[in-house]
Amino acid sequence: MNRYFPGGDSNGGKDGVTVTVSPDSGAAWTGIFAFGDITPNGVTGIFSMPDPDQLCVVSRGEGYLVSSSNPNVNSQVLAKPVIDLISVPEAGLIIFADYTTLVAYDANGVKWESGSVAPDGFKILGVEGEILKGQFLSLRTDRYEVFTVSLADGTILSGREFL
């Protein structure tokens, strides 16, 4: 049976990314995840989550979290649109970026939301130890500057000079 997201309805929905899921327990199902309509440059892909029963589908920037064993248990990613993301398995996190903020999920759901890390658009560069690094184009200097964020709680450690 096809399920349309958002919502998980089987009666119809919008075009989007189609994914067939075969969970360890329960029946296989197919999900159609509606394309985001904010930007054509949003992320598209299927990603594992810290909760092994949950999967994430991002469809042109619109992110969906769904239980693989029960597609009726679903929600949307708080970052809209998803323009970048990084999985940090050693910290048990997946971190989503919209144009200005970060949202981290662990196995229990949202772990933290950062404040604004950039005035308008940034790129995640990677993780070093307990620190996420990214870069943004500074409106002050017209150069790329680095920001850092604590993986533990989303505190912005450096790079907020633009505010």
Q: Where are the domains of the chain?
A: 1-82
Q: What is the Cα–Cα distance from 63 to 58, expressed in whole angstroms?
A: 4
Q: What is the Cα–Cα distance from 71 to 69, expressed in whole angstroms?
A: 7
Q: State if pTM tops 0.75.
A: yes
Digit-coded pLDDT (tens) for 125-161 = 999 999 999 998 888 888 888 999 999 999 999 886 5
Cis status of the peptide bond prior to 81, with omega within 30 of 0 = yes
Residue 163 has pLDDT above 60, yes or no: no
Cis status of the peptide bond prior to 6, with omega within 30 of 0 = yes
Q: DSSP for 110-126?
A: EEEE----SSS-EEEEE
Digit-coded pLDDT (tens) for 3-25 = 888 877 777 778 899 999 999 88
